[in-house]
Amino acid sequence: MQLTLVQLEQHAGDVDGNRDRAVDAVERAAARGADLVALPELWNVGYFAFDSYAREAESVEGPTLTELSALAERLDVGLLAGSIVEDLAASAEAGVDVPAEEGFANTAVFFDREGRRRGIYRKHHLFGYGSAETRLLTPGEHLPTVDFEGFTLGFTTCYDLRFPELYRELTEQGATLVLVPSAWPYPRVEHWQTLSRARAIENLSYVATVNGSATFDDGTLLGRSTVYDPWGTTLASAGDDPALVTAEVTPDQVARVRDEFPAWEDRRQ
């Protein structure tokens, strides 16, 4: 299966332009043979555009995700639509299960090749270090997995990388490929790379981290979107400029690594 991470150029205050760039990038990825495409965290508003969160929030059935659902169907790709600021009240009105009847969440949605919404993941661990996220957003409660092309997909978001128990829970649910939409800023390059690789090694699974490419008043995203295999080996990566990061991933590789190095058999609880 060909996996493509969209390291997207983003501009604060340019939601329409960001959406156009995202659609164009997904179309280019599909034209190059992608089966599964992933967008970064809060790519439409920009992570650091905190003043825009309430204004740009929408339901998971709102215009942004409706467009991306149709895009996945038209291009015949699986699509992790990155994450958006979800208006929880609007989603509740649409009949969607939500963690709170009002407020906002950092919400990632996965669509299959038919454009069907198969998974909703709301960021569990909200970033409090120099960020307004903990004040503005409601954390998620559910940890979904989705079967796609022989993989069991799991989803986490950015800061979640610092909490290994989340990844072990996904693995215990059968996850073999975890997609991590992110907005990881400079200067913590070593943290970004080390934590991502560690999550792959610990769980003997693929981990694919898709970051943005942008400079805001409060920070600059460091890019470096990367696909790690179950050994923690880098299969494909980028610098800090906009890019399509593509790697071939196979479910059989996860099984082979877990058979060859059955570390879980030595685990004590």
* Catalytic positions: 41, 123, 158
> Can you tell me whether residue 50 is helix, strand or coil?
helix
DSSP label of 78: E
State the alpha helices, DSSP H only, in 42-163.
Answer: 53-56, 63-75, 88-93, 133-136
Residue 194 φ/ψ, nearest 5 degrees: -70, -45
Q: Which residue's structure tokens are 């309430």?
A: 54
Question: Is residue 106 within 8 Å of residue 123, measured between CB atoms?
Answer: yes
| CB count in 10 Å sphere of residue 123 | 25
Residue 102 exposed, middle or buried by CB count within 10 Å (0-12, 13-18, 19+): exposed
Contact 90, 58 (CB under 8 A): yes
Q: Please list, in sequence order, all residues whose beta carbon lies within 8 angstroms of the beta carbon of residue 238, skipping any fewer than 6 positions away.
A: 5, 7, 223, 224, 225, 226, 245
Write the DSSP symbol of residue 200.
H
Give the Cα-Cα-Cα angle 17, 58, 127 (nearest 5 degrees).
85
Q: Where are the alpha helices (DSSP H) in 41-163?
A: 53-56, 63-75, 88-93, 133-136
**Whole-number Å distance between alpha carbons of 217 and 67:** 29
